[in-house]
Structure 1
């Protein structure tokens, strides 16, 4: 599969982040029938061809179509004219416009479709539970183009989708007024609709329940909300405090928090899952919460929130180079404890990393990592070992200056491993080639 190998010029932001007015814009009108577990959607995509190529086809990812009898496309048009020449197979929707889309041209696609939601499985976030509906990767979106369309095959674990940053306006109506919605953006009234907006995001997620309890906080202008269920009050409050600590710290150490709000949502999953402005944490973490930061609730919470920077703000091909967001989010946990709970540093290393005795190359893809345990040991945990050794070698001043510049250069863009090391070498003259040889199978 194609991957980007853009190397930025020294001290000049790369061309990867496109100007705001050329980002793809998604506008949705969503009717959610909570009791029937169905969704009716009208979606408009304003697409600016920033590829530099003439495009005779457009590829969208349609994740709900990986389930049987879930996604039903009822209409598809381009600039008001019905499109008949398209194919939908599995997750891939390929559209063949009547005329190629020229470089620099803007066009609009409008889709109407229904979702008959599936029962949520433990490993996935998408679908319904008896008390909750999660809409994640629920809409068709145009995948990135880099010498070809970047849509990778699904795998049994890891994230296979690659996203461009885009602007979202999501208008929602819910059948039941008792249903509370957690979303990637802040709510405002728009006539009969509730409108959520977020700019420069890769995903837009929603979670709906008539059982949600909410605790709120804020860091600067960012609103933080913890959505949890009855009986988990202590954990629900602990989450909002952890999120407040994380946004405050990461906002100083990495870059300002990129979104207007953050929703942390309890659901039934094995651990956690990140989306822009919204993260899920496992129900069992709330149930098992012991009242201290020595817990999965706080550790994995700090990890998923770090993905707002390493995945959300700074994108990557998380299929081929997942370490760029997963190792970074794991090491961000270490930074979280270092600054907020300095006495828990040894505990974190033993609890999260050393216990598993991780080995394996950090630059492993989701496809060649072996089992999920071996994959996470290599990419997440050995990735944290690598970043810690790297930080020790180059020193804190260079390490954190590098992180800030890296985040700024690739803000709303997409970085590669080559980009990571290209920027790093501008901040240090230290030789870390021996560390690289131990942790990476390829040279960068």
Structure 2
């Protein structure tokens, strides 16, 4: 009997152990919601900066229809009930509103005045119509927001607009030539958010001289739909290029740039090179291919020199396009617009194309990466950029290159700079003409940085420029901040006489 009881107990024990093991190891595990895989819980983070998404339809002549979605990120400590956008194209609304000097008017309009402008059709905030008005002679778009944007918050703005491009040789303009050929310059063309600093909006209009753009770093994606035989050269990286329904589509995208520009033509050929892993593309008319190849070569050398001197260009691509811009060359982030006359003699053999190209490449650092108010403090970016241009000639060609540059662009201007009542730190409205502006702002920049190099040595100067770039990269710097940064370096060779001479007029 005991044996039977013992046997039954053993069987029960085995059965109990089997049940426990099955429960612990074989029973499927049921997860609570908190235990679900992390990938099922998507966390949407707001963007770090403003994001422009623009879709463009171009008619092949001078009309553009566009829809712009702006993800506005309030990175300030202020609450915004209103927003302001520059509408630079409206400077072309009449011949009276175009801010050109008299002697420059027909250089910009060789066939006579041609009107242009931007027509705002609808504005929405977060999907609902928002009240808006045009101020400052139509060059500023003012939005009265439906609901204020708190610090750290995001709001989606949708702006639909039509653009008429004038027949002009300017940042915004087109020219026709040959048998149905056209090249269009698309600079300062869309509503761009104005800078707000110290609770004050910068809404200066375009002046007759210098550059107009003062903007914050943003991310861009721009899609162009153009006639099938057209090519689009633009800021950023060409993400896609294809044809559909007899149309060509070009999609460009780039993060952390100040503004977006393009050139569109049905007469482009291209040539490509690479330096330090950076792709450089030159766009040119086939009849001007010598200039196009030269522009590519100059840009390649300039990028290499400036990479070594200042710190590496942070974007993967750079484009330079033959376009229509009577002053010569115009910088935009990751994109350079060069006037078609630069691609022919005598500009090729006289180094005029080389000087302009090197200068605009230097602007990729000084304006593109380190921004400033180009209307009220134009010397901040133009002075350092022109010094960089002189540095390019020195490093590429040695002492003969330096001497040649100084003989042509500096020595002839020194007396004017020293005796002129206008100072290099003055704002654009004080300059009466181009002849006064260039030596005062550009040449003075070369002289300032040459003096600085002579005082502290080239090694210290390059260290200053690299640390200046890293400190203010992707920001806007003021003249006051520049001086404080230089003083903070505590170079023993710089006494008050240096600052009084250059920065404290």
CA distance in 1, matches of 2:503, 2:488: 20
Distance apart, 1:298 and its partner CA: 0.5
Contact 1:152 1:161 in 2 (8 A): no
1:408 maps to what in 2? 470
The alignment yields a C-alpha RMSD, in angstroms, of: 2.0
CA distance in 1, matches of 2:68, 2:59: 17
CA distance in 2, matches of 1:435, 1:201: 34
Residues 1:32 and 2:58 are matched in the alignment: yes
Residues 1:93 and 2:141 are matched in the alignment: yes
Contact 2:117 2:164 in 1 (8 A): yes
Contact 1:364 1:375 in 2 (8 A): no
1:59 maps to what in 2? 84
Deviates more, 1:300-309 or 1:349-358: 349-358
Distance apart, 1:160 and its partner CA: 2.8
- 1:433 pairs, out of 484, 492, 496, with 496
2:122 maps to what in 1? 75
Distance apart, 1:20 and its partner CA: 9.7
Residues 1:43 and 2:43 are matched in the alignment: no
CA distance in 2, matches of 1:63, 1:291: 32
1:136 maps to what in 2? 187
Residues 1:385 and 2:456 are matched in the alignment: no
Q: Which segments of 5 or more consecutive residues in structure 2 lack a partner in the other structure?
A: 1-44, 94-115, 177-181
Contact 1:390 1:432 in 2 (8 A): no
Count of aligned pairs: 419
Higher radius of gyration, 1 or 2: 2
CA distance in 1, matches of 2:394, 2:455: 18
CA distance in 1, matches of 2:405, 2:132: 54
Distance apart, 1:231 and its partner CA: 2.8
Distance apart, 1:190 and its partner CA: 7.7
CA distance in 2, matches of 1:387, 1:279: 25
CA distance in 2, matches of 1:102, 1:301: 43
CA distance in 1, matches of 2:295, 2:496: 39
2:335 maps to what in 1? 278
2:28 maps to what in 1? none
- 1:396 pairs, out of 430, 433, 458, with 458
Deviations 1:322-346 (A, max 9, x none): 1111011100011101111112111
SS in 2 for 1:431: coil
Distance apart, 1:79 and its partner CA: 0.4
1:304 maps to what in 2? 360
CA distance in 1, matches of 2:132, 2:119: 17
Residues 1:105 and 2:159 are matched in the alignment: no
Contact 2:483 2:503 in 1 (8 A): no
SS in 2 for 1:232: helix
Residues 1:117 and 2:165 are matched in the alignment: yes
Q: What are the equivalent positions in structure 2 for 1:9-408 lying under 5 Å apart?
A: 21-35=47-61, 37-68=62-93, 70-88=117-135, 89-120=137-168, 122=169, 124-130=170-176, 131-146=182-197, 147-174=199-226, 176-189=227-240, 193-268=249-324, 269-289=326-346, 295-342=351-398, 343-357=400-414, 358-359=416-417, 360=420, 361-408=423-470
CA distance in 2, matches of 1:290, 1:411: 33
Contact 1:225 1:240 in 2 (8 A): yes
2:111 maps to what in 1? none
SS in 1 for 2:492: coil
1:271–1:291: structure 2 CA closer, same or farther, 3 Å change rule? closer
Deviations 1:342-385 (A, max 9, x none): 12111100111212334142212111233221122111112211
Contact 1:63 1:91 in 2 (8 A): yes
Distance apart, 1:85 and its partner CA: 4.4
Contact 1:135 1:205 in 2 (8 A): yes
CA distance in 2, matches of 1:291, 1:29: 37
* More helix as a share of residues: 2
Contact 1:151 1:161 in 2 (8 A): no
Contact 2:383 2:442 in 1 (8 A): yes
SS in 2 for 1:308: coil
Deviates more, 1:431-440 or 1:375-384: 431-440
Contact 1:258 1:308 in 2 (8 A): no
TM-score by length of 2: 0.79
SS in 1 for 2:388: helix
CA distance in 1, matches of 2:241, 2:361: 29
CA distance in 1, matches of 2:228, 2:146: 43
Contact 1:25 1:46 in 2 (8 A): yes
Distance apart, 1:208 and its partner CA: 0.6
